[in-house]
Amino acid sequence: MPKPKLKSQSELSLEPLPAPASTSVAVDGVDVVTGEPPVPISLWRTATTDTDVPDQIGARLAAAIVTSYANPGHTVVDRTASPSIPDACAQAGRRHTTDPGPGMAALVVADRPATDEATTALFGQAAGWLLPGGCLILVDPALAGPVDQRPVHVTAAAVGLDYFQHIVAVGAPAEGERFVFYPTKAELAAAADPTGSGHVRVHRDLRVYLRRAGEAHA
């Protein structure tokens, strides 16, 4: 199957995404994450494959991220440790890079940094890489526990990145409307660990930040 023909960077443009819902907008019938403002929450069915590495982004999740938030020919900045992102870009006709120039990216995909300092640095870099209307997606670690994300959203907003959407990507296979999951011995042991959450996680949390239009960041 031939690869999609890529446009030159000068031919590309981003259609502006709608602003996140505010507390004054009716959200009846729409699942939202509460906050200021509340944001939509989406459930993705991205069952893992036999070749996926447990602590990395799976092939189906990578494909969903790349095709949902970047059009063919757009540049995707990869700040993950997962080979599935470059593979997904190649298959979908998106430009993959780990060394972007300023204002050239439609999408930045990154593993969530381990420290507040690293997160702040990433937000500053992403704001400079993204075109207005582009998105940064932070992917939580596979076994991440609950974290108060409100300070993270404040840090992002300070550099022009608005919290836009929360995605729950379920890696368990689905049969009809039901998810079917059989935990491994390692997952059961992790759930039983006193320092753990006490639950077997079958999903990854993704948080989407929208690059605000009309602001430039170094």
Question: Residue 174: its pLDDT value, please?
Answer: 52
Q: 176: domain CATH number? A: 3.40.50.150
* Residue 216 lies inside a defined structural domain of this protein: no
Q: How many domains does the chain have?
A: 1
* Residue 64 lies inside a defined structural domain of this protein: yes
Question: Residue 21: its pLDDT value, please?
Answer: 38
Cα–Cα nearest to 169, from 48, 23, 83, 88: 48
Query: What tokens appear for 102 in the block?
Result: 């300023």
Tell me which residues of the chain have a pLDDT lower than 70. 1-37, 47, 142-146, 171-203, 214-218
Give dist(CA 135, CA 213) in Å, integer: 11
* Residue 196 lies inside a defined structural domain of this protein: yes
- Give the domain extent around 196: 42-211
Tell me the whole-structure pTM to 2 decimals: 0.72
